[in-house]
A and B are shown apart, each in its own frame.
Chain A
Amino acid sequence: MAREVSESCVDSLLTEMVSTYCNRFYANKPDLAARSIEAIGYQVGHQLSERYTMDRPRFSDHLEAIKFICKDFWSELFKKQIDNLKTNHRGTFVLQDSQFRWLSRVSVDLSENGDVSQDNPEATAENKAAQVTSMHLYFPCGIIRGALSNLGIPCAVSADISNLPACELLALFAN
């Protein structure tokens, strides 16, 4: 019943969406672009969570939901589970994916990562690349936020890509 698409399609769709929003719709308003992309992700996550939680008992608490996100949801999306889940038990969860699939093919030159400061053009290039990459992260963030909020956990999700292609997603609950 489940029809499948090749992964490359998803990748190129993502890049296409990001570029469309960043360069065409909201050319010089990155925050607006980000918001829209995030919103799309939100809706997608909303619906995916609806589907993937279909035949499983209800979650009794937040942690279960998070675990679901980390295990099943993630592997539905990325064919792998989250590598590491940290929490401070006060509503903050850090999801680490050492090989974030959607960024695994982003070609950011990471050699200069150490000595960014040495010469400015390099550094700026770095920043540019980082910005572009972070643009690609709003979508997954939105997905997670959508999924969680649909599971009754309103939260804010942010991502950190200090060392690609590893990716840290930070989920903050409103409790």
Chain B
Amino acid sequence: MIVCVAVVGHQNNPLYIQSFTDADDALKLHHIVHCSLDVVDERVNNPKKSGPTLNETFLGLLYPTENYKVYGYLTNTKVKFILVTTDLDVRDADVRNFFRRFHAAYVDAVSNPFHVPGKKITSKTFAETVSTIVKSFGLSSAG
């Protein structure tokens, strides 16, 4: 299951973090997201490492750990999306698909004239959209 999704601004400042765990341990997810920025930076700074996926918005798997996976996505405007999931066999396609939808939702959110760029995203609609996307994550692959 997806335990956390996050939007991180181009100054590595958190714009939106939503965790989907029942226990209130959001902080550890904050930590994971924050640390994953190290990898994002690395990928961006020396692109030859990221190899074929150069300049692709989808950064792929950032973290191979035993217990959870962290995926990254970097938009043209240097905004990062981070996805933390605990199920260990995730299909790349699903993640890509997820990020695409997530990105769309994000764009809608920031296109709101009352949203102040660089500030946290507080729109309820966005939150709802995100939660639906998260819920439907993996179902598409199943179905």
Contact = CB atoms under 8 A, between A and B. Distances in A.
* Direct A–B contact in the complex, CB atoms closer than 8 angstroms: yes
Given A54-B103, A57-B55, A152 B78 contact: yes
Interface residues of B, number: 19
A50 B55 contact: no
Given A57-B57, A58-B55, A50 B77 contact: yes
Nearest to A42: B117
B117 A43 contact: yes
Nearest to B76: A53
Given A43-B113, A152-B77, A54 B55 contact: no
Interface residues of A, number: 17
B107 A58 contact: no
B10 interface: yes
B76 A51 contact: no
A50 B110 contact: yes
B93 interface: no
B10 A54 contact: no
Interface of B: 10, 47, 54-57, 74-78, 100, 103-104, 107, 110-111, 113, 117
